[in-house]
C-alpha cells in the first residue's frame, strides 16, 4: 500500500525497484492494478511480481523502440535513467504527411455506472490503460492511473467510474498528421486521442505510436 501512496503523492506511474543495490524490476500502474484485484496491496515490493527491467546499450530511438515492443514493456533503462513511451513520442521527428487515424482501433468502453473494480478487471483482461466512459454521449476518460490513485485515497474501488474519470475526452481529427496529433496529446497532457465513428469510438495511444515507429524501422531493414 505504501508503494501506491508513493505513486500518487509523486504523480508517477512507475517505480524502479532495487534490492541490494541491484535493479530488481519495475513496479507500474499495471502491477498496482493486479495487486488491487488480487487484494494483495500489503505485499512488499520484495515479494511482488515486478515488470522485468529491460536495458538498452544506448539511447538511440531505434534501439529503445525495439526493446519496448519486443519485450512488451512501456519503459527501458539506460544507465541510471528511465526512458518511457512518452519520452520517445515527445522527442521523435513525426511526419506532417502521414495521418494519425489509420493507427486507431476500436475502443473498449464502459458506461458511467460501471463500478471502478469492474473497470480495473476490464483493463487487466484487455491489457489496456484507457477506457472511454460512454452513455448516450461520451462522458470522459478513465485511466489505470486514475484507478490506482483513487484506490490509494479510498482503499476501495466501489464507486461508479463517472465519479473517478476525467470528465472530458480529447478528440482527434481524421485529417490530422501524426505530428499535429502528437502535439495535441502532449499539449493537453493526455496519453490517448479519441475519434468518433458511427460504429463507436476509436482510440490511439502512446503504445500505438511506438508500434508505428517500430514498423517503420522494420520496413527500412527489408
Determine the 3-state secondary structure of 153 from DSSP: helix
pLDDT of the residue at 123: 98
Q: Which CATH class is domain 101-217?
A: alpha beta
Please tell me the distance from the alpha carbon of residue 141 to that of residue 169, in angstroms, as a whole number.
6
pLDDT in tens, 133-156: 999 899 999 999 999 999 999 989
Nearest one of 36, 8, 43, 206 to 121, comparing CA atoms: 36
Tell the residue number behind the cell numbers 473498449, with chain if given: 108
pLDDT in tens, 56-86: 999 999 999 999 999 999 999 999 899 999 9
pTM score? 0.92
Q: What cell was used for 77? A: 533503462
Domain boundaries, the chain: 1-53, 57-85, 101-217
Q: What cell was used for 179? A: 505530428
CB 36 within 8 A of CB 46: no
pLDDT in tens, 12-62: 999 999 988 899 999 999 999 999 999 876 666 555 689 999 999 999 999
Distances from the Cα of 23 to the Cαs of 47, 56, 67, 79, 174, in angstroms? 14, 14, 17, 11, 42
Nearest one of 80, 30, 76 to 50, comparing CA atoms: 30
Nearest one of 73, 69, 70 to 82, comparing CA atoms: 73
> For residue 146, how many other CB atoms are within 10 A of its CB?
21
Amino acid at each position: 500500500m505504501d508503494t501506491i501512496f508513493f505513486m500518487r503523492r509523486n504523480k508517477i506511474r512507475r517505480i524502479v525497484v532495487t534490492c541490494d543495490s541491484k535493479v530488481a524490476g519495475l513496479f507500474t500502474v499495471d502491477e498496482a492494478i493486479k495487486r488491487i484485484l488480487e487484494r494483495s496491496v500489503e505485499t512488499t515490493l520484495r515479494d511482488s511480481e515486478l515488470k522485468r527491467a529491460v536495458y538498452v546499450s544506448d539511447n538511440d530511438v531505434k534501439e529503445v523502440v525495439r526493446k519496448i515492443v519486443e519485450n512488451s514493456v512501456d519503459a527501458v533503462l539506460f544507465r541510471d535513467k528511465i526512458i518511457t513511451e512518452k519520452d520517445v513520442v515527445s522527442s521523435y521527428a513525426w511526419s506532417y504527411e502521414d495521418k494519425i487515424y489509420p493507427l486507431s482501433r476500436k475502443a473498449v468502453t464502459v458506461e458511467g455506472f460501471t463500478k471502478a473494480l469492474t473497470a480495473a478487471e476490464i483493463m487487466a483482461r484487455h491489457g489496456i490503460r484507457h477506457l472511454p466512459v460512454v452513455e448516450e454521449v461520451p462522458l470522459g476518460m478513465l485511466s489505470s492511473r486514475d484507478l490506482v490513485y483513487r484506490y490509494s485515497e479510498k482503499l476501495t474501488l466501489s464507486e461508479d467510474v463517472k465519479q473517478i474519470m476525467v470528465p472530458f475526452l480529447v478528440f482527434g481529427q481524421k485529417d490530422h498528421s501524426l505530428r499535429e496529433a502528437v502535439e495535441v496529446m502532449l499539449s493537453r497532457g493526455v496519453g490517448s486521442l479519441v475519434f468518433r465513428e458511427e460504429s463507436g469510438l476509436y482510440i490511439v495511444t502512446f503504445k500505438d505510436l511506438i508500434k508505428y515507429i517500430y514498423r517503420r524501422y522494420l520496413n527500412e531493414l527489408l
